[in-house]
Amino acid sequence: MATVVSPPLGVAYLAAAVRAEGHDVQVVDAVGEALDAQHATGDPRFVGVGLSPEQVVERVPADADVVGVSCSFSHDWPHDRTTIEALRRRCPTALVVVGGEHVTAVPEEVLGDCAAVDVAVLGEGEETLAEVVALHDRREDLRQVPGTVHRDPHRPGRFVHAPPRQRIRAVDELPRPAWDLVPLGAYLDRGFGIGIDRRRSLPVMATRGCPYRCTFCSSPSMWTTRYAARTPGSVLDEVRDAIVEHDVENVDFYDLTMIIRRSWIVEFCQLVLDSGLDFTWQLPSGTRSEAIDGEVCRLLHAAGCRNLTYAPESGSPRVLDRIQKRVDLDHLTHAVRTASSEGIACTANIIVGFPGETRRDMARTLRFVASLARTGLETCTVAPFSPYPGSQLFAELRAEGRIGALDDQYYLGLSYSDVSRAASWTDHAGPRELQAWRLATLLAFYGLAYATHPRRIVRTWRAVVRGGPQRSRLEQALHDFWRRRPGTRQPTMPDDRVAPTAPG
């Protein structure tokens, strides 16, 4: 399955790291090699995007020495497991290595659930995967490679955890993503990415990790809380090369939390302005508001930043304290107002239904979201809480016995793309009431956003019906819906295939 269609940045980094050590590397990008294809997943609620598991296997050489599979999202695990099992049948003697956030969160469950897997790589994977490949090439013992988990050969059902691997410190020295090994042009030509469609968009990571410990987030288990930032000059060099080599027009920064230090973002913006490069950029994943003031907002816009995503998560101070979300709601509101006044479209991500969250908490969140609508916030996403493997709340709920077997139904239930249902993890509201709060919060936001900013009505109409520039995810989604309404002739690409709009 693919809930987001974007160039595979993580895989491109891993491939570059292994190739830099002198190994031959081939990447099978199951999504990018078949952007228009869909296939059944075994669950009627979901449709797979891209190559089917059987088609992926056909592209892998039967004599491959090492086969690696990345699984970042837990709801993809059932589908990825099917692919891995098919790969094992194709390559019976190969070393099968898996990694990604899901694998890092529950490595023993992955190894226990899929006999085809030989090694689980935890966390930041470049150095670990390169070492695993090198030792396997020399037929040496892999069980002590830092950052890996293996089955215990002497005790069935038990596992061997190697010592943890230290985070990569010299992030500027990492090989650039191996974009030549993936069908990058297919993504660029059609505007795919996780941000607003701003033409040819390339994903870039300027920083790694997040220093915060939000209890609903799996980042601490994947990245630890060490925050590593590349130098602004290194980031700009990568963007410059992307513009020259791939005609990139927009950059999507995939950082967990890009703007933490004011000095870093000010230096980066100034370097962009001094360079004379013409490109837009956005932060679709999220950022903090503490370092953003009027001066920074003016610099951001002048340097090409057009979209910012904030993640307040809740409007209830009690809930924020419970989830260890260190955010000043008043400061965030001011940051949204300031950025919006400077021409930067802002999005806020909200979650409802945290364990212990009451109706009063959800009402406070609704009022907070309504206040953001008046400040100029463009888009608000409201999702139900899901206990994601690797997060502190997942561990707490599992220890309390509230999470049962980690089976396919549990993993598939974590998908935000299935909006028809939502489990409730708070004792104060059932699933239907939780969905009602979710809908009420969205209606309150968009009703007030358009009522207090009536010019948006005309702008959105032009973006949706006339195909004008899209400023928000709502306009992008509505335009896609309008373009695909029944009886409408679909636009075609030069190869006469229907061109889907990037989800967001």
What DSSP string describes 7-52? --HHHHHHHHHHHHTT-------TTGGGTT-EEE-SSTT-EEESS-
| The total number of residues written for the chain in this structure | 504
Q: Which CATH number fits domain 193-386+423-453: 3.80.30.20, 3.40.50.300, 3.40.640.10, 3.20.20.540?
A: 3.80.30.20
pLDDT range class, residue 191, cuts 50, 70, 90: confident
Please state, rounded to an integer, the average pLDDT across all residues of the chain.
90
Q: Is residue 490 scored above 50 in pLDDT?
A: no
- Residues 9, 254 contacting (CB under 8 angstroms): yes
The structure tokens listed for 307 are: 């979209």
pLDDT at 118: 97
What are the tens digits of pLDDT across the range 404-458?
A: 999 999 998 887 655 556 689 999 999 999 999 999 999 999 999 999 999 988 8
- Least confident interval from 32-46, 452-466, 488-502: 488-502
What are the tens digits of pLDDT across the range 45-88?
A: 778 889 999 999 999 999 999 999 999 999 999 999 999 999 99
The structure tokens listed for 487 are: 């009886």
pLDDT at 100: 96
Q: Is residue 323 scored above 70 in pLDDT?
A: yes
Q: Which residue shows structure tokens 């013409």?
A: 278
pLDDT at 3: 53
Closest CA to 439 of 419, 425, 453: 419
Residue ranges of the domains in the chain? Answer: 9-161, 193-386+423-453, 454-493
Distance CA 47, CA 412 (A): 12
What are the tens digits of pLDDT across the range 355-393?
A: 999 999 999 999 999 999 999 999 999 999 999 999 999
From first CA to last CA, the distance across the chain in angstroms is 16
% of the chain residues with pLDDT over 90:
78
Distance CA 349, CA 367 (A): 15
The residue-averaged pLDDT of 347-352 equals 96
pLDDT range class, residue 185, cuts 50, 70, 90: very high
With a threshold of 0.75, does the pTM exceed it?
A: yes
pLDDT range class, residue 487, cuts 50, 70, 90: low
- Least confident interval from 262-266, 322-326, 330-334, 453-457: 453-457
